[in-house]
Homo-oligomer: A and B are copies of this chain.
């Protein structure tokens, strides 16, 4: 079976960090005989500059065909004034929606060497390892009707939160499956005390649990209390299951807690394709960081670890994924640091490509 990859570096620091992933991919091809058929294309502001759209139909079609998409980051201040439908984010959202990548896996992991970067106390975060499973193709991100409408002489901003039973069911299964391979605990978060969509969410998650995953420990929490508990004692969680909008906020909070923001990858998975592999896109949790773009300062680790997730979830190469993750840990333990990882101790930061060098050497 060939391994096909579509690489979309995107905007800002996207191309820089992705350059290091290219080198890792090459290493696997020559040193481990694990070969990838790689195509590269445009997304976000870069695609808008070239084609007047944040994602061309041709790129969309390619994304549907490959085993996995690797995305860098999208966005930049030069695109702020664009019409909503042309903004860089719409390219990303189109990929998620049309590939039907309903399960967004966001590990929030605290790297021991970096625990002191957290604004939280060391004992609250050291060793933290939670997985947020965020629904990614429905909810208020995509619900209709939406828009800015005219009503009684004034404008009204409108969005719709919609969840069908089937949409909740499938993402709940993803969370329970993952939990079985981890700490066997799922905490589902919504606002069932305020929103009917939350009531249905809670009910369906409970039903999926009772019928198919009674062995997994399930709890429910209101999303506001969930945000509190994440800040108070995040280690109480194993897998957190939540909807698209709450997942956006809660996963960002969780990521920041770890102190390892420049380190965190994500996977967005859909249904299995004909070859048995899931539709999949991988991307770092961090953004395009336009302020440091093009200066060789960016930390490529989140993007490299996103490729490790691709090895694990798309290419069934769990052992190779672990090898890559271990290489990253070693480099950190050795004290190699990009600028974002410089603490009070001081020292000289390495560039994006020197970090790539170090990881390749550790491999």
Contact = CB atoms under 8 A, between A and B. Distances in A.
Q: Chain A interface: which size bin? A: 35 or more
B196 A157 contact: yes
A26 to B, nearest CB: 34
Nearest to A255: B228
B163 A119 contact: no
B140 A161 contact: yes
Interface string A218-252: 00000111011111110000000000011011111
B157 A160 contact: no
Nearest to A164: B156
A89 B191 CA distance: 11
A158 B162 contact: yes
Interface majority SS on A: helix, strand, loop or mixed? helix
Given A120-B121, A227-B253, A158 B197 contact: yes
Contact of A193 (B87, B163, B200): B87
A345 B117 CA distance: 26
Contacts of A232: 119, 256
Given A119-B121, A155-B165, A161-B161, A194 B89 contact: yes
Contacts of A146: 195-196
Identical subunits present: 2
Contact of A200 (B87, B157, B223): B157
A128 to B, nearest CB: 12
A6 interface: no
A196 B87 contact: no
Interface string A154-185: 11111111111110100000000000000000
A43 interface: no
A157 B256 CA distance: 31
A235 to B, nearest CB: 11
Contacts of A121: 119-121
A163 to B, nearest CB: 5
A151 interface: yes
A187 B208 CA distance: 41
Given A193-B87, A231-B119, A161 B159 contact: yes
A156 B162 contact: yes
A360 interface: no
Given A121-B119, A224-B249, A159 B196 contact: yes
Interface of A: 75, 84, 87, 89, 93, 119-121, 124, 140-141, 146-148, 151, 154-166, 168, 191, 193-201, 223-225, 227-233, 245-246, 248-253, 255-257, 261
25 contacts: A87-B193, A93-B194, A140-B161, A141-B194, A141-B195, A148-B196, A154-B164, A155-B165, A156-B162, A156-B165, A157-B161, A157-B162, A157-B163, A157-B168, A157-B195, A157-B199, A157-B200, A158-B196, A158-B197, A161-B161, A224-B251, A225-B252, A227-B250, A228-B252, A231-B256
